[in-house]
A and B are shown apart, each in its own frame.
Chain A
Amino acid sequence: MKRNLFWLAIVLLAAAVYFGLLVTVADQYLGADLSLGLPIVARTLIAFLGGLAALVILIVVDDFSNLSRPKAIGLAGILFLLIGSYFGLFVAPPEQFMGETQRIMYVHVPTAWFALVAMTLALASAVVFLFGGDYDWDARMEASIEVGVVLAFLLCCQGAIWAKPTWGVWWDWDPRLTTTAVLLFAFLGILALRKFSEDPHKRAMWSAVATIIAYVDVPIVYFSVKWWNSLHQQQSNPNTVSKPFWIPLRANAFGILLLMTAFIMLRSRVAALRLKHELAPPPALSGSEIGETV
């Protein structure tokens, strides 16, 4: 069952990469039509849903025993990131208004997507843990929070790098930027809480509760800051993003998706192993040791 689900995820991923990336590459650089007659909306939807479903399935069916899978997925992710960076830096033309600065969008936008995805995974793991009590989900929650924190931190850095030449300041009190920063600190606090609590049961319960509370805060922070102050690029969609920009954006999106999946799988493995170690009874004293202490 789990084996079949794993391969289902791979098939979904392949479909997502095919319709999201290969069709556009072939159209742009080979002049071939590989779309199989599907309209662009359907292709985008398959790429989006297929990628997300693959991510969820891969993480859910992972039982922390197999090390080669996350390694292979991570390597594939790095490969996609290399391809995306090559296209983004050398192939895609500079943007009309922002020039070369805009190229950071090829990593910034996918980072933003998957920071949110990682936090959502953390929320889902917290809810499943609170209602089911399965410690595998505690491990997945820890992994998702940590990966989400790293992505949110990268997001803030990339945003600052982009904002300096564009807006003239490193930081701006825009709703999305501020929400990301608040989210980063909220989840860092949960990681600190996990570090400081020694009882594995309490640690799991508390961090699940704190994750739910912190996640609920996200929309409230967003809207309150939006009322307070606003200045940010409107979100783009496939209709407002010109075709040459698609390829690096999507290649990087798949790259971060795969890399994130691999990191979460590896990190939850570490968390599960540590928990096993903590819950294990202390090793029995062997005869010779008793003799020595006496």
Chain B
Amino acid sequence: MLIAALRKELLLQWRSRAQFMAVFVFGAAALLLFSFAVGPVAEMLRQFSAGFLWLGLLLSSTLTLAESFHAEMENRALEGLLLLPANPRALYYGKAIANWLQLILLGIALVPVMVVLYDAGTTRLGLLVVVIALGTAGLSAPGTLYAAMTAQVRSKQTLLPLLLFPLIVPALLASVKATSLIILGDPMNQISAWVILLVAFDAIYWSLCGLLFSRVVEE
């Protein structure tokens, strides 16, 4: 069930890959703009690079997430999906995992932009990918659930960030801290604490949102 739902989502995303490119360009443009806000001081930009990367990723993620129930809203497709003899939970996890994969890809794609613009190179790429994966998991689990709600109301573009941003404060905080420690060096070995926090956040929201999703879409 989950596999079928996931396949459907990935197929949808592949067919609309132009949208992914647009979101990536948006994120890269955001990273470019952040540097104008600080000024051309290389040292300061390097200091803030992790924060900028995650803010860029967060802003672009709201675009991806807000669109993620777009197809289901046309021709009452969501009702059709719910009529299938399948658990709505599979639908949720399929969508959340697909969103997650897309956000990981987006995060990895934004890293070179960050490295070039802010001179924030690092050799610990494996760890950086792990942090990006854990951080975006924290965005996609509640984000997919909220997207299911906000896709059905007026002014969804405003409402999704309004609901999502306060919620993911811990994930954002931990991701920025961990990424910044990767880039600037980690003499006190604090990175594991932030990674554990991310894992805990992800575990809580991936299970809780899956439990509550059927209540969100039920008629």
Contact = CB atoms under 8 A, between A and B. Distances in A.
A57 interface: no
Interface in A91-135: 130
Contacts of B149: 193, 197, 202, 206, 209-210
B200 A220 contact: yes
A196 interface: yes
Nearest to A214: B167
Contacts of A161: none
B162 A192 contact: yes
Interface residues of B, number: 33
B144 to A, nearest CB: 12
Most chain A beta-carbon contacts within 10 A, residue among B158, B162, B216, B218: B162
Nearest to B150: A193
A189 interface: yes
A213 B150 CA distance: 15
Contacts of A206: 149, 216
Contacts, number: 87
Contacts of B193: 227
Interface stretch (B10-18, B77-85, B104-112, B204-212): B204-212
A192 B150 CA distance: 11
A212 interface: yes
A130 B208 CA distance: 14
Size range of the chain A interface in the assembly: 20 to 34
A185 interface: yes
Contacts of B215: 130, 205, 208-209
Given A196-B154, A220-B204, A213 B167 contact: yes
A213 B148 CA distance: 14
Interface in B141-155: 142, 145-146, 149-150, 152-155
Interface of A: 130, 178, 182-183, 185-186, 188-190, 192-193, 196-198, 202, 205-206, 208-210, 212-214, 216-217, 220-221, 223-225, 227-228
22 contacts: A183-B166, A186-B167, A188-B162, A189-B166, A190-B163, A192-B158, A193-B163, A196-B155, A206-B149, A208-B215, A209-B215, A210-B149, A210-B163, A212-B212, A213-B142, A213-B145, A213-B167, A213-B212, A216-B208, A217-B170, A224-B197, A228-B173
